[in-house]
Chain A
């Protein structure tokens, strides 16, 4: 398996606060990679630096061999990187269907969009994405009318719609019931053959069930990285989790 994402020496400062202090992370193609750590350890900041929501103060980010350190979010998306925000960011005034269509048609040219050339061609694809996330029956409803858990699924469906190579998920099960978390895990597993995943999550049971590799952050630095078994055995990690979490 080749390296899909390489984060090297990334630091991020907000004024005098150093949120990330020289982070190195490598994500291999075809793996689910979890970022865990105590509150304030820099997980979400790292994810945003990868997605382009924050530009790193120093360090580099390479995706598929391309330096994307200073690329804009849309340039990263065009390369095959997709993000699901921590705070649900579906478009509440659009229908569930239109939310997915909007995500799916992003690769179309302006003229094709004006002529609505793919509106009908994409219908099956949109409905397939909604069926996969159990939202097909609610396609015509407003996205803002969905429950919190359903909005999270819709957003994952939207993030996956353009068929990204790497999906960044920031706390996808936040606010979900245990049953919804279980279903979310079931919904994510089938994408492994086509898409890698970097996931920030507080639910350690959930992340242990679906991830192959874990990176543990603490105070903006990598504390440890390895397979799930290796991390579970790590004394450094156990110490942090038993003393500070």
Chain B
């Protein structure tokens, strides 16, 4: 978090917990369909969690690593989801080799357009300006599609054509799950590579003192715009997968509601760690699923969730992972006397 206080205790070689947590999470993710062979509805839930994890990671890149408070990640998610649904409906085309890159391109173009407007000014924009700008964009888009008959208006687009790889149609189930897990793994690896690179060092410096970096000669707005655009690519890809998996995309999938949910996944799990938002998405979605059958509690669940998250944000802004991962490990080390650790 940009305003987090300096870490008090220096440690030349801090313990490395994050790789252990990452390994455990991905091992569990790999085994999940094998453990749920008799409960296909839970595989559907798990697939949904993976897709939403990708959305949460896209937010984490913005806020946790770059100090960009984006309430617009669902916009890139939703527009890409609509795009591939329309391509399927109007062009009868749903080949993954074509539509998934298109979804990524939609996310890229849209997020870059927002970045150009909100981030690439001559002077550094404030957090409030960016958060309100992205929030307004998501809200306007949701309102726009809600009244646009061509895209199904308030009903959204249902019966989205199934994703295809050649002659194979991907229906929900273990195969779809492992495809999403593979895509999530690739995106996670690419994100991890970036945030641990020298580029990531610039992001880490920017979070602590953006003005200082400008005096080193960094045009910090460009770095923000690039990471924001990359995050838009991930959100667009997640939107396409969601649309294919659910067979539906609607106005609620591109508005402030889902954007805020992505924020909560990251803050609850632990922003600035990449794996924290995945854990956050898993916990929140799983608890929501369990409580959906508990009539006595489910109506209060949004309130309970809100209070829990408020407590986390106020008392443990580093999220659940903050209990296990030191601030130093979260920020990372980019070099040293004996090389990168």
- Establish whether residues A140 and B336, one from each chain, have CB atoms under 8 Å apart when the complex forms: yes
- Establish whether residues A144 and B6, one from each chain, have CB atoms under 8 Å apart when the complex forms: yes
Restricting to B1-42, which residues have a CB under 8 Å from any CB of A?
4, 6-10, 12-13
- Establish whether residues B217 and A91, one from each chain, have CB atoms under 8 Å apart when the complex forms: no
Question: Is A46 among interface residues, defined by CB-CB distance under 8 A?
Answer: no
- Establish whether residues A91 and B12, one from each chain, have CB atoms under 8 Å apart when the complex forms: no
Question: Is A102 among interface residues, defined by CB-CB distance under 8 A?
Answer: yes
Contact of A91 with B7 at beta-carbon distance under 8 Å, contacts A102-B202, A126-B335 already known: no
Question: Is A105 among interface residues, defined by CB-CB distance under 8 A?
Answer: yes
Give 5 closest A-B pairs by Cβ, nearest first: A77-B217, A92-B6, A144-B6, A145-B10, A106-B217
Given contacts A95-B336, A141-B10, 5 further A-B contacts (CB under 8 A): A73-B215, A93-B7, A103-B216, A114-B194, A122-B335
Question: Is A188 among interface residues, defined by CB-CB distance under 8 A?
Answer: no
Q: Which residues of B contact A51 (CB under 8 A)?
A: 215
Q: Which residues of A contact B331 (CB under 8 A)?
A: 93-94
Q: Which residues of A contact B334 (CB under 8 A)?
A: 94, 98, 101, 119
> Which interface residue of B8, B219, B339 has the most chain A CB atoms within 10 A?
B219
**Chain B residue with Cβ nearest A126:** B335
- Establish whether residues B217 and A139, one from each chain, have CB atoms under 8 Å apart when the complex forms: no
Contact of A110 with B336 at beta-carbon distance under 8 Å, contacts A72-B122, A91-B208, A94-B208 already known: no
* Number of A-B pairs, beta carbon distance below 8 Å: 136
- Establish whether residues B333 and A98, one from each chain, have CB atoms under 8 Å apart when the complex forms: yes
Contact of A93 with B199 at beta-carbon distance under 8 Å, contacts A73-B215, A74-B219 already known: no
Contact of A115 with B197 at beta-carbon distance under 8 Å, contacts A73-B215, A93-B208, A139-B336 already known: yes
Question: Is A56 among interface residues, defined by CB-CB distance under 8 A?
Answer: no
From the candidates A77, A98, A117, A136, name the one contacting B216 in the complex (CB within 8 A). Answer: A77
Binding site for B on A (CB under 8 A): 51-53, 72-74, 77-78, 82-83, 85, 89, 91-95, 97-98, 101-103, 105-108, 110, 112-120, 122-123, 126-127, 136, 139-142, 144-145, 158, 162
Q: Which residues of A contact B211 (CB under 8 A)?
A: 53, 73, 89
For the complex, give the distance between the alpha carbons of A167 and B91 in Å: 62
B272-294 CB mask vs A (1 if < 8 Å, else 0) is 00000000000000000000000
**Chain B residue with Cβ nearest A95:** B333
Contact of A92 with B7 at beta-carbon distance under 8 Å, contacts A106-B218, A110-B222, A126-B335 already known: yes
- Establish whether residues B335 and A142, one from each chain, have CB atoms under 8 Å apart when the complex forms: no
- Establish whether residues B337 and A127, one from each chain, have CB atoms under 8 Å apart when the complex forms: yes
For the complex, give the distance between the alpha carbons of A104 and B82 in Å: 45
- Establish whether residues A97 and B209, one from each chain, have CB atoms under 8 Å apart when the complex forms: no
Rounded to whole Å, the gap between the CB of A24 and the closest CB of chain B is 24
Q: Which residues of B contact A158 (CB under 8 A)?
A: 216
Contact of A162 with B198 at beta-carbon distance under 8 Å, contacts A92-B208, A101-B334, A141-B10 already known: no
Rounded to whole Å, the gap between the CB of B263 and the closest CB of chain A is 22
- Establish whether residues B217 and A72, one from each chain, have CB atoms under 8 Å apart when the complex forms: no
Contact of A113 with B198 at beta-carbon distance under 8 Å, contacts A92-B6, A93-B328 already known: yes
- Establish whether residues A73 and B214, one from each chain, have CB atoms under 8 Å apart when the complex forms: yes
- Establish whether residues A113 and B199, one from each chain, have CB atoms under 8 Å apart when the complex forms: yes
- Establish whether residues A78 and B209, one from each chain, have CB atoms under 8 Å apart when the complex forms: no
- Establish whether residues B197 and A162, one from each chain, have CB atoms under 8 Å apart when the complex forms: no
Q: Which residues of A contact B212 (CB under 8 A)?
A: 85, 89, 91
For the complex, give the distance between the alpha carbons of A160 and B78 in Å: 47
Q: Which residues of A contact B222 (CB under 8 A)?
A: 110
Q: Which residues of B contact A123 (CB under 8 A)?
A: 335, 337, 339
Rounded to whole Å, the gap between the CB of B271 and the closest CB of chain A is 15
